[in-house]
Amino acid sequence: MEKMMSVVKILDKEFIPYISAEEISARIAETAKTLNNNLANKEEVIFLGVLNGSFMFYADIARQITLKAQFSFMRVSSYHGTESTGTIKSIMGVGNEVKGKTVVIIEDIVDTGLTIDYICKTLEEAGAKEVIICTLLFKEPAFKGVNRPTYSCFTIENEFVVGYGLDYDEYGRNLPEIYKLKPN
């Protein structure tokens, strides 16, 4: 029997169940398998998690990667409340570790695409050989970027979501499943 998920309150807002832990883990297993197949012939691979939002997704997918690969993180920031601010800051950037390598970006969500475009540009400047984008969620209707995700576990509507790493003003990241903002 599926575990019951109910409404959660985070700060001033209510969120309703959206994607269960079981659905998340099933899609991650499929995505890891695809990555293991598709990247089998790559020379040097580095998985680069985008902090903070990707930490749960990263840990779950990393454990199912059987490739010879390196694992590292970078950190950017762009959100405030439930809206993207449009300006991206690199808080913890990348250095020599990506040079000449196939970089697999592990993101929690691609929304407008501004963040991912910024990250791709940063990685190109740092000398990455190839950049592959793997995101848990793709908010496709909001996307206005250049670099579309190569792999996405779920394509979602224009909803604000929390849980499984994703936050509302830094809260809600610890929820094991994904919730969306309750309509008024």
Using CB under 5 A, list all residues that contact Mg ion.
Answer: 53, 108
Cα Rg of the chain, angstroms: 16
Contact set for ligand IMP, span 130-169 (CB under 6 A): 160-162, 166-167
Contact set for ligand IMP, span 77-106 (CB under 6 A): 78-79, 84
45 CB-near residues (< 8 Å, 6+ apart): 39, 67, 68, 69, 70, 101, 102, 104
Question: Residues 12, 60, 108, 111: which is the catalytic one?
Answer: 111
Catalytic-residue membership of 12:
no
What is the C-alpha separation between 133 and 94, in angstroms, rounded?
A: 16
28 CB-near residues (< 8 Å, 6+ apart): 57, 60, 61, 64, 136, 153
Determine, following the binding rule CB under 6 A, whether residue 111 of this chain makes contact with ligand IMP: yes
Longest dimension (CA), the chain: 51
Pick the binder of ligand IMP from 24, 104, 105, 114 (CB under 6 A): 114
Determine, following the binding rule CB under 6 A, whether residue 20 of this chain makes contact with ligand IMP: no
Rank residues 112 and 150 by Cβ distance to ligand IMP and give the closer one: 112
Amino acid at 116: I
H-state helical runs in the chain: 21-38, 55-62, 114-125
Partner interacting with residue 163 (select from Mg ion, ligand IMP, none; CB below 5-8 Å by kind):
none
Determine, following the binding rule CB under 6 A, whether residue 177 of this chain makes contact with ligand IMP: no
Question: Residues in the site for ligand IMP, rule: CB under 6 A?
Answer: 53, 78-79, 84, 107-116, 160-162, 166-167
Catalytic residue positions? 111
